[in-house]
């Protein structure tokens, strides 16, 4: 009589176990790669949204910049400030006309002082916006509402065009507005690839106009700042 085998041999069990472990390792590795890629994609999407939001807000404030025939009645200052030992950034302050109130239930005019600056510590760097409903040049310590508009911004750089050449600063002694501004925002690099950056040209020669936006690591687009 021939006895039929009803169980696996030790060699078959070992082979099956090895194959099962290999498949499990491949599946875990693939799942981890997908998870890491998904988290990186989410961070990049969030960062891109913050950069666009900050750029649109700066462009909107500049489009609504307050103008006056007397230089004493308006303000526009662009300088370079030292953020940390190894980081310098542009500092921008000017008067703008606002349509929405900065503080609920508080008396305000329609001319605001707005300030943009980069603040950094050991862990992160953020782009800040200060909006002051009652601007006064004589006040040594201006007030206002301070808001973080974009996190992990590594570069905030502004250049000013006077009609003939570009400059890194526009001191108050100029007593005039530049014709054109080029503003560059660069986010801190996360993972592989180039860090997301966005540059835009904002003309100040008239109350509204076309704003050209260039994105590195993304799409190139152009729009009208009057729609912001």
Q: To the nearest 10°, the Cα dihedral for 61, 62, 64, 66?
A: 110
The model's pTM is 0.73
pLDDT digits (tens, 9 = 90+) for 214-228: 444 443 333 333 332
CA-based nearest residue to 149, from 126, 124, 132, 179: 126
% of the chain residues with pLDDT over 90: 31
Residue 158, in any domain of the structure: yes
Q: 37 pLDDT exceeds 80?
A: no
Q: Which domain holds residue 96?
A: 44-227
Mean of pLDDT values over 9-33:
74
| Range with top average pLDDT, 173-177, 178-182, 210-214 | 178-182
The residue among 121 and 79 whose pLDDT is bigger is: 79
Residue 144, in any domain of the structure: yes
The residue among 101 and 214 whose pLDDT is bigger is: 101
For the chain, the domain total comes to 1
The residue among 210 and 26 whose pLDDT is bigger is: 26
Residue 16, in any domain of the structure: no
* CB contact at 8 A, 88 and 82: yes
Residue 22, in any domain of the structure: no
* Residue 216 pLDDT: 46
Could you tell me which residues come within 8 angstroms of residue 167 by beta carbon, excluding any fewer than 6 positions away? 159, 160, 161
Residue 15, in any domain of the structure: no
Residue 146, in any domain of the structure: yes
């Amino acid at each position: 009589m021939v006895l039929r085998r009803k169980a696996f041999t030790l060699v078959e069990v070992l082979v099956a176990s090895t194959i099962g472990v290999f498949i499990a390792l491949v599946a875990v590795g693939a799942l981890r790669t997908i998870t890491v890629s998904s988290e990186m994609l989410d961070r990049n999407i969030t960062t891109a949204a913050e950069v666009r939001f900050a750029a649109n807000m700066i462009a909107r404030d500049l489009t609504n910049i307050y103008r006056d025939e007397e230089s004493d009645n308006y303000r526009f200052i662009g300088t370079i400030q030292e953020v940390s030992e190894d980081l310098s950034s542009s500092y921008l302050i000017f008067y703008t006309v606002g349509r929405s109130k900065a503080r609920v239930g508080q008396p305000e005019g329609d001319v605001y002082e707005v300030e943009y600056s980069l603040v950094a510590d050991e862990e992160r760097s953020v782009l800040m916006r200060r909006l002051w409903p009652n601007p006064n040049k004589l006040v040594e310590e201006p007030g206002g509402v301070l808001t973080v508009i974009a996190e992990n911004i590594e570069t905030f750089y502004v250049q000013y065009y006077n009609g003939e050449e570009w400059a890194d600063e526009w001191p108050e002694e100029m007593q005039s507005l530049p014709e054109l501004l080029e503003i560059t925002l660069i986010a801190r690099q996360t993972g592989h690839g180039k860090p997301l950056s966005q540059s835009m040209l904002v003309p100040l020669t008239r109350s509204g106009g076309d704003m050209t936006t260039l994105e590195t690591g993304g799409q190139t687009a152009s729009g009208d700042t009057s729609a912001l």
